[in-house]
Amino acid sequence: MQEQIDITKINHFLAEVGPIIVGITKAILHALGCKIEDEGHGLDLAFSIKSGEMTLKFYLRNLLLEIVTIDRDEEPLRFDEGLKDFEYFLAKMGRAINSKLRVVFEVLKEDDLDAAVENICKDAKDYERIQIWRFDQNKDSDSDHKADVKEPSGNS
């Protein structure tokens, strides 16, 4: 029963506040000179971000779930009741957006994904959990990359 109550709270919160979180994230990216196209909607929404010669897909699912739940990877998901406090919500949203966008810009500024991941790992304590996937469009490259960066234990 509690699981259904939490799912209902999560869905309601995302319906009401999700567009605000998406809008703030998009406004920051635009202000920093990125060209953005939306792909999908709801938890399947992704931004296709173009900066210079690089294009990257930024999926918003984890960002939204990190804000609205206690732990986005927990089964079943639990609504973060602290979000009822506006200051708590703003602080949590700010931390989550900041950590995700720092990673986005670290990837965008590097041509070499391994170098970007190395830079990201140096500051891993500052980030929420992230996954980076890179699929090279170059026919000559047989490398698709996946890099996981998880915060050190003890941080939340």
* Successive 10-residue mean pLDDT values, the chain, 156 residues: 93 96 95 92 91 84 94 94 97 93 83 76 63 54 45 38
Which pLDDT score, from 0 to 100, does residue 36 have?
93
pLDDT at residue number 48? 93
**CA-to-CA distance for 147 and 129, rounded, in angstroms?**
11
Q: Do the Cβ atoms of 37 and 47 come closer than 8 Å?
A: yes
What predicted TM-score, i.e. pTM, was given to this entire model? 0.77
Q: Which two tokens stand for residue 152?
A: 């050190």
Confidence (pLDDT) at 90: 97
**Residue 107 one-letter amino acid:** V
| Predicted pLDDT of residue 27 | 96
